[in-house]
Structure 1
Amino acid sequence: MSLDFCAIDFETASWDRASAIQVGIVRVRDRQVVDQFATLLRPLPGFDEFSDAAIEIHHITPEMVARAPYWRDCYSAVRTFIDEDRLVSYNARFDGQVFASTSLISGIDDASVEMGCALTWAQRTLTGLSNHRLATVAAHFGIELTNHHDATADAVACAQVVIHLATIYEVDSIDELARLANGQFSFYQADKKTLAAYLADQTHH
């Protein structure tokens, strides 16, 4: 069995999980990144306030996403790209909630996603590091990360970290890696703030 999966990364306008403004996804086949899907995203009204702190991190401004598609406009293409692959991110609690929260407020029925967390796998595998941030772990493995906080660049780095971890455990299955790294795939739903706002809105209609 070859090591096949997709890695995903989001950037957001603020700390609100429903404010996705960029997504990058890469497909891995037999330990090689073979394809990618990437786009800027226009956040929906009510979730489109950009924080200065977020802009300082990813350098994406409101003007840059003004003509970008909404998440609902590219959701079908995202699902088609992922297909039946296992989905992994570096900090799945964040990216999983962004995926689910943005889907929920976009009116997408299936506002949940199953995702593995490469951060958790790295934390439980690599000792002696000062921290387990993506940039630190990438440097540990000699992975080039020249455009950190660009969603595609981070998705590629995440994928390469997973490939290195699979080599450490000598496995060719993403599920076996998750099992041995003691970090199973989890379902992520919309964060409580987004869910509460959504349910309140539904009661007024």
Structure 2
Amino acid sequence: MDFIALDFETATADRDSPCEIGLTYVKEGQVVDTESWLIKPRSFPYFAPFNVSIHGITPQDVADEPEFHDLWEVLRPRLENNLIVAHNAGFDLSVLRRTLASYSIPFPSLDYACSYIMSRKAWPGLASYNLKSLCSQHSIRPGHHRAAADSRACAELTLKILGQTQTSCVRECSSKLRTSIGRLLDGGYTPSEAKRDYSGRGFNPIIGDTSKHNPESIFFGRSVVFTGALSSMTRAAAQQVIVDIGGANHFGVRKDTDYLVVGQQDFRVVGEDGMSGKQEKAVSLIARGAPLEILSERDFLCNI
């Protein structure tokens, strides 16, 4: 039950602008210590007003603090070869990766998990899974967007998840909840994400209106998959459009899929690269020579 909970605060919308990092250490299922460091970001003295309104850290607070590359010799031995947990790990680990890359520092080797993803699996059906809401539900003192307190809240929440799932460690919990452990290593990373199980979920056939068939449409006689939320219509309506034109809907991306239409993605669900599992598979198939095309919602609307 040993892990380190991590939280970053950033000065701007750019991921390589950390202005604070917090680490909370868990040993044998107990929170034993919390540390935090203010960081002078690369953007100094500029701080985005929106970010300041969230965490309250100002340029004056970090004027005499070290930059990240100077602090790294302190942080690396704490992080390397350990299991890291973050709430919305896609954000925090991308801050780490992009900041290291901006200073041309090699990635450390570490594993990581996402308490946000695990929470969704442990307590399905909640209205919100942000850290503040989950802290309120489980009587955890919230962090109010400061790195030390947020990392501690993440650690305590992770221990609650272990209790909920009756597991003894984060790796066992991740396996039980069907979420993957991410991996960061010199030269790359693999994301921490939810494993999707579509077994037993049928795709209800949609009956098209043959009088609306359009042989001139690019979708006529072709198969289409949708991922993400469309802003112009519901997915069911879009699928109806496809069969009315004379195309077919696929539930998932396959070798014989012709088009993937990408709508707005939920950053809390997709991988760290911002792509859904369907889009990642499509990119992989295209790289192997599959005649599959990825379309934006605008492209879709222009062709119906």
Instruction: Classify the TM-score, shorter chain.
Output: 0.7 to 0.9
Distance 1:61 1:101 in 2: 22
2:81 is aligned with 1:94: no
Q: Which residue of 2 aligns with 1:182?
A: 178
Counterpart residue identity of residue 6, structure 2: I
Provide the residue aligned with 1:24 in structure 2: 22
Secondary structure of the residue aligned to 1:76 is helix
Residue 43 (str. 1) matches residue 71 (str. 2): no
Q: Choose which of 149, 169, 172 in structure 2 pairs with 1:173.
A: 169
The equivalent position to 2:73 in structure 1, one of 67, 70, 76, is 76
Q: Percent identity?
A: 29
Post-superposition offset of 1:15: 1.2
Per the alignment, residue 199 of structure 1 pairs with none
The one-letter amino acid paired with 2:81 is E
Structure 1 residues 189-200: aligned runs within 5 Å: none
Q: CA separation of 1:35/1:41 partners in 2, compared to 1, >3 Å: closer, same or farther?
A: same
Q: Does 1:153 align with 2:156?
A: no
Equivalent position amino acid for 2:131 in 1:
L
Q: Deviations over 1:60-118 (max 9, x none)?
A: 01111111111111212112123432001000000000011111112212278642110
- SS of 1:38's partner is strand
Query: Which has the higher Rg, Structure 1 or Structure 2?
Result: 2
Q: Deviations over 1:2-33 (max 9, x none)?
A: x1100000000011100000000011011211
Q: Distance in 2 between matches of 1:187 and 1:173?
A: 17
Identify the match of residue 59 of structure 1 among 56, 74, 89: 56
CA–CA distance in 2 between the matches of 1:107 and 1:90? 26
Cα distance in 1 for residues equivalent to 2:19 and 2:67: 9
RCO comparison, higher one (Cα < 8 Å, 6+): 1
Q: Which moved more, 1:114-123 or 1:16-25?
A: 114-123
Runs of 5+ consecutive residues of structure 1 not aligned to the other structure: 193-205
User: 1:198 aligns to what?
Assistant: none
Seen in structure 2, the aligned counterparts of structure 1 residues 48 and 16 have a Cα distance that, compared at 3 Å, is farther
The aligned counterpart of 1:109 is 106
Q: What's the secondary structure of 1:109's corresponding residue? A: coil
CA distance in 2, matches of 1:169, 1:89: 18
How far has the Cα of 1:48 moved from its partner?
5.5
Aligned residues: 188
User: Which deviates further from its counterpart, 12-21 or 100-109?
Assistant: 100-109
**What's the CA shift for 1:139?**
1.0
Normalised to the residue count of structure 1, the TM-score between the two structures is 0.85
The structure-2 alpha-carbon separation of the partners of 1:96 and 1:5, relative to structure 1 and needing over 3 Å to count, comes to same
**Contact 2:24–2:148 under 8 Å retained in 1:** yes
Q: One-letter code of the match for 1:124?
A: K
Whole-Å separation in 1 of the counterparts to 2:181 and 2:76: 18
CA contact (8 A) 1:11 1:151 kept: yes
Shift of 1:121: 0.4
Using the TM superposition, give the Cα deviation of residue 138 of structure 1 relative to its aligned residue in structure 2, in angstroms. 0.9
Q: For 2:123 and 2:183, how far apart are their aligned partners in 1?
A: 25
Q: State the TM-score, normalized to the length of structure 2.
A: 0.58
Provide the residue aligned with 1:138 in structure 2: 135
SS at match of 1:124: helix
Query: How far apart in 2 are the matches of 1:139 and 1:48?
Result: 35
